[in-house]
Amino acid sequence: MDKLTLIKVGGKIVEEQETLSRLLVAFAAIPGRKVLVHGGGRSATAMASRLGIESRMVGGRRITDKSMLEVVTMVYGGLVNKNIVAGLQAVGVNALGMTGADMNILLSDKRPAGEVDYGYVGDVRHADGKALTGLIEMGVVPVIAPLTHDGKGSMLNTNADTMAGETAKALAPYYDVSLVYCFEKKGVLRDEKDDESVIPEIDFSLFQEYREKGIIQGGMIPKLENAFEAIRHGVCEVIITRADCIGQKDRGTRIVG
């Protein structure tokens, strides 16, 4: 099968012009078929503030009521997504910006209220790899915003790491998929204060050990959980690295099953 690279990039990187420009050049240089999934949380928070809408977070996750759903739909699916698309066109990448609702590529269920009611937040139920493959084989590069829909007319705010993992899994029957999670560090660190303490490779047993010891914590835990889930469902490799290192052969932390 042909190789496909799926890049997931965090909001901070795509929201600042300097880091976005470097990302776009590095992404354009990746050979072959590719997909980009992005975040945009800081832009959503800033826009909400300008509109007088309070941003509420629990455990690093956004509470999405009806007003906030309107904000994230505008910001993720509009402002951030189209800025990335325009930037990619400028470096020769024929990009198409989309959300999970477009072509029905990502269908979700609204998360049920538990101890915390996250509101209009979606848990992915189905990702249509065949539909995405049709676009990719036309020479189009999908740029996917972290929004899905419920099939009943409602948009849902959806975690971008999860969307990247689910999209990679859906494309795995059609391509040899490499999933690359990009953020501000060179990889998963043994010591969060030491940027050079990159762990070169993590399997599931090492993940459990480091989690128990507190070496791996916070937002890195769900990122790694998504990575292992992707490997179990046929994704060839998962890399966690810094955005400007995506084109390098030996980069970041490699996740193995």
175-184 pLDDT per residue, tens: 999 999 988 7
Please state the rounded mean pLDDT for residues 163-173.
Answer: 96
Residues belonging to the binding site for substrate are 40-41, 62, 157
31-35, 112-116, 143-147: the lowest-pLDDT one: 112-116
228: CATH: 3.40.1160.10
Q: Write the pLDDT tens digit of every residue in 183-196.
A: 878 888 988 888 88
Q: What does the angle CA 130 – CA 40 – CA 169 come to, to the nearest 5 degrees?
A: 25
Q: Number of folded domains in the chain?
A: 1
Mean pLDDT of 116-135: 96
| E-only strand ranges, the chain | 3-9, 33-38, 57-58, 61-62, 95-98, 106-110, 122-127, 141-144, 147-149, 155-157, 176-183, 201-202, 237-242, 253-255
Segment 146-158 shows an average pLDDT of 97
To which H or E segment does residue 22 belong? Answer: helix 17-29
Which residues does the annotation place in the binding site?
Answer: 40-41, 62, 157
- Domain containing residue 230: 3-255
